[in-house]
Chain A
């Protein structure tokens, strides 16, 4: 046995080289795309590399980016959630109501933020409950809750814009820390937590197993429903945080259009980042890059004066390219 261990270490270098090879060819694709895009953008617009512009892009990206982190978990588990945009508006409206009820001061802000996270997790749990206990496919269940959440949002706010009367709340979303906007910090910190959760904990491993083959997972003593359910809660939690970031940045929330089409942007970021919609495999850093790519496309087209109506087309092309690359990879 002991002499066999030696031969085992002998295969390590080849494994390492294989790893490097596989990384450079496939999983690095989003990063390469990002670098190409950065270079192109810098060429197209003189304004692009202004630090303030870069922090602006990151801040614009952070709202959907935070949701995309949670979406990565759910999509890896084999699910999808179309309700996140409406959920964001609903949490946003409720948070401002809570805030205005509590009045001024940091205490009120802290309570409101905690409430946002709890509410997000709760709405996520509703989706999770519908899909695991109710046995409704995630697509259909969240299509329904998308409509329900938006409707409740409009109803409780009377379709009017909700403005925060707390004097400190907007500091959360507009503030800077060490040169970066607060929402960007939140985005990056959540990304690191997400990465650790996905790669270095049993939950992350179980999530990949469930998304890849739920039957194998259940035969491997994994509670499939629980893992799936939790991924909905994680997503809801990120939606809650995103609602805080957005509503504090604007110091208000507009029930009709807050979070509109965020579900599509979040899913697009996940897909561009190399996570397969069929589940089972994906990375958080890929999603971060995917979100940034989407943000840069928007920004660059705006800066270079392209018709805003064409931006959607460019976004669409990028998604198609990402999926085509995945498809080729799968072959």
Chain B
């Protein structure tokens, strides 16, 4: 019994000591906390990769800034993460909130205690930040709609696979539907959610293929889901689907575009690198520096354009070492 107790303490002690050792105790002038969702699908994995890349880049250029990157698996866990970051005395917080409403209170607390706050991607109901940076969700829908209409030559049947039922998804789908409504020859056969998950998209697409004998194009707003869709089409052996369009821009899909894939010919950006820019904006804000060659410090709202990527410009976006 005593032996077990000792072993237990020893194990705990060992774990704690390694954590202690990994902690370099350089006094930094600025501390930046970065809180993101843990990597549960491709895009969030990309997010963490870009956050760490930005941190690594800043370590080289600005040695007076220290970063703490934490990832949470649930909204309430993320609340705890932010509380802990505040205890560590952060000067700036860069956060991609898992659920904006869940995080609202704690972000308020951070912002109210003069922490320079950058909210990424998911907007709070009550704004409580210095900077909000996001992709253009409505733009993603509109650009996608336009491109598909052009590719289909204004005529054909489309099925839509949606993401998680949260506001971002709604903004994209509403804009897409509005754009398609302008093109009378194009019909949306079906629209279902698959939570931005490859497996779920595979299952949903399998059902669509059973249900609809003639499909001309698929829009699924996310390149992770696109992989599931392509798999379902491949397994079914159907040849009627001539065009598929994902979104957000994963490196695998860019590679397909580069390699002249007959059905995957484009993607629309919604880059996970936005968190890296968010970190840059936070550092600039803290140091009161001007952004790039602009004549101003950090703007309060940055919306990254939804850009159409096809084989003409894919080389500029393709980052083979990225996680997404």
Contacts and interface: CB of A to CB of B under 8 A. Distances in A.
- Are any A and B Cβ atoms less than 8 Å apart in their complex? yes
B102 to A, nearest CB: 5
A250 interface: yes
Q: How large is the interface on A (under 10, 10 to 19, 20 to 34, 35 or more residues)?
A: 35 or more
A251 B12 contact: no
A304 interface: yes
A161 B100 contact: yes
A47 B79 contact: no
Interface string B69-100: 01111111001110111011100000000111
B195 to A, nearest CB: 9
Nearest to A162: B101
B165 interface: yes
B125 interface: yes
B8 A308 contact: no
B132 to A, nearest CB: 18
Contact of A258 (B1, B73, B75, B100): B75
Interface stretch (A67-75, A131-139, A273-281, A314-322): A314-322
Contacts of B75: 250, 254, 257-258
Contact of B19 (A44, A60, A170): A44
Given A257-B76, A301-B19, A317-B12, A60 B4 contact: no
B317 interface: no
Q: Is the interface of B mostly helix, strand, loop or mixed?
A: helix
B99 A254 contact: yes
B87 A257 contact: no
Interface residues of B, number: 45
Contact of B165 (A47, A158, A258, A298): A158
A292 to B, nearest CB: 14
Given A37-B12, A252-B101, A309-B38, A246 B76 contact: yes
17 contacts: A26-B1, A47-B88, A50-B87, A158-B165, A161-B100, A250-B75, A251-B104, A252-B99, A252-B102, A302-B80, A303-B88, A306-B19, A314-B12, A317-B11, A317-B12, A318-B12, A325-B8
Interface of B: 1, 4-5, 7-9, 11-13, 15-16, 19-20, 22-23, 38, 68, 70-76, 79-81, 83-85, 87-89, 98-105, 125, 164-166
